[in-house]
Amino acid sequence: MSALAAAIEGLALLGPGLPDWASAHAVLSGAQPYVHAPTAVPVPGLLPPNERRRSGLAVKIALAVGAAALAQTARDASRIDTVFASSSADGDTCHAICEQLAGSERLISPTRFHNSVHNAPSGYWSIATRCMAPSTSLCAYDASFGAGLIEACALLHARGAPVLLVAYDAPYPEPLLAKRPVRDAFGVALLLAPQAGAGARARLELTLAEGAPDTLADAGLEALRRAVPTARSLPLLRLLARGASAAAVIEYLGGPHLAVRVAPCA
């Protein structure tokens, strides 16, 4: 893979013990210890009341971080290309559909069905922001964040316009949890631009690299990184929080992993 470069204009995070980027920055920079707490997912204020009631947890996570990343910039949400990446769909919705199909009455609610499809967050985002720009929804199991970052940077270079990457995961209830142990919600959003403007936080360069993905010295953060696929982003987020000029190796598909070199903007 040829090197792909981008600048970060906006950054948001939501996860266990990391309720927003300001809190995560303090933890990942080493200023405060990490304390695990269940993820509190906010009500999606972007959505009209009817859609808000129908939306599932995955949608709420995606909209929360996407809106928070865009709010740090002057970009118009209705004109931003988007990439949504997740290792799975809405766990509660999948469980409810499986439960219904296992019973005698196999009628599936249309709301349940449209919340189960992988591009549901993208659809709700377009409703909330009235965005008709191109959008991609993808899944690459535990490498979904890395695959989403590559896709976003490739789209950025193909179209020469900003791209919002939204990566998210929602927990599964039992018995699905026993087969796919995602136990909490986690979301991260990066607003990427082709060039580093006045408000850019850092510059990224993506390549493929041999070797194992980076781990975290803090036992709690490392457990989180391993437990939720989107949390594979934590080594990169740690570099961004510390303002370091260095590279993070993020889990990717099979052989070479994704090396992301970070350079802070002056």
Query: Based on the number of CB atoms within 10 Å of its own CB, is 106 exposed (0-12), middle (13-18) or buried (19 or more)?
Result: exposed
Which residues sit opposite 247 in a β-bridge?
Answer: 261
pLDDT at 86 over 70: yes
pLDDT of residue 54: 83
Domain count, the chain: 1
Domain hosting 147: range is 4-264
Q: What is the pTM of this model?
A: 0.95
How far is residue 215's CA from residue 221's CA, in Å, rounded to a whole number? 9
Compute the average pLDDT of residues 210-214. Answer: 92
How far is residue 259's CA from residue 262's CA, in Å, rounded to a whole number? 10
Per-residue pLDDT of 166-199, as tens digits, reads 999 999 999 999 999 998 999 999 999 998 887 8
Compute the average pLDDT of residues 50-76. Answer: 92
CATH of the domain at 38: 3.40.47.10
Q: Which of 72-76, 214-218, 252-256 has the lowest mean pLDDT?
A: 252-256
Non-local (6+) Cβ contacts of 42 within 8 A are: 60, 64
Percent of the chain exceeding pLDDT 70 equals 99
Per-residue pLDDT of 6-40, as tens digits, reads 999 999 999 999 999 999 999 999 999 999 999 99
pLDDT of residue 257: 95
pLDDT at 266 over 80: no
